[in-house]
Structure 1
């Protein structure tokens, strides 16, 4: 996925590594997120829960490499514990206060990829990044 933001790379990096900010924007509009633990450093780990109508969805992963221009981490939905994705996020400075965010999620098969897409995660990603854009405009990031 690729998305351009009217933000500096360090703002997007902070939005992806600060647990308070992350919980405010991640996921679909109709879900609330709470951080269980968060260590956004190389070798650290994370876990959070997103909830809707009393139903909780837990996610976890490990940060393999965290640096200002790139984050490499794993991502697992605990309801499907064998479905581990390796994600890489790149923060590309476009100049003039704009940044291109590129993300790549690698899974073990085409079937695994298709199963992730059937969950509606694309809607959650798009709604989440729209919330992040609003936070940038409001000066929260």
Structure 2
């Protein structure tokens, strides 16, 4: 079963919000976000290789990774401000191709019972131009593909 991604950009805000359900327990969903070896298997669209150079998944820890394909290498970095196991993450997110355009991202992990979970997120951009650039970059398609890969990974956790 494929669960649909619901991605919205509320009018007159700097935010993008998403919701996605998974046919897996909340503990497995959270682990797939916490463990860098698992993150490499699902984060991002098809056709990208991922290399993680830093992944300190703790409150006040940091991260940096790159995605590569035949068109180049794209770097991303940020700080995990708050990490609460199986429940909540606050982090920053910066695409190194657009320096100083740092987003603040919130993710809530919800136990739906019966081995199912929901991930809700909100990303706040520094300005509407940055938000609209992300939305027009194919972000929704990339998120959908990444979550489809995550569905497959979660079957084996």
- TM-score when normalising by structure 2: 0.86
Separation of aligned partners in 1, 2:35 and 2:94: 19
Deviations, residues 54-87 of structure 1 (Å, cap 9, x unaligned): 5100000000000120011000000101111100
Unpaired segments of 5 or more residues in structure 2?
1-17
Separation of aligned partners in 2, 1:55 and 1:110: 27
Separation of aligned partners in 1, 2:126 and 2:65: 23
Separation of aligned partners in 1, 2:53 and 2:148: 24
Give the equivalent residue in structure 1 for 2:37: 20
Separation of aligned partners in 2, 1:4 and 1:29: 20
Give the equivalent residue in structure 1 for 2:12: none
Unpaired segments of 5 or more residues in structure 1?
none
Separation of aligned partners in 2, 1:94 and 1:79: 37
Offset of residue 110 of structure 1: 1.7
Offset of residue 127 of structure 1: 0.4
Separation of aligned partners in 2, 1:39 and 1:54: 28
Offset of residue 32 of structure 1: 1.0
Deviations, residues 14-64 of structure 1 (Å, cap 9, x unaligned): 111100000110001011111011100000000000001151000000000
> Within the alignment, does 1:110 sit opposite 2:128 as a pair?
yes
Give the equivalent residue in structure 2 for 1:6: 23
Q: Which of residues 121, 127, 138 is equivalent to 2:145? A: 127
Deviations, residues 97-131 of structure 1 (Å, cap 9, x unaligned): 10010011001222221011122111111100100
Number of residue equivalences = 139
Stretch deviating more after TM superposition (19-28 or 112-121): 112-121
| Structure with greater helix share of residues | 1
> Within the alignment, does 1:31 sit opposite 2:48 as a pair?
yes
Q: Which of residues 57, 60, 64 is equivalent to 1:43? A: 60
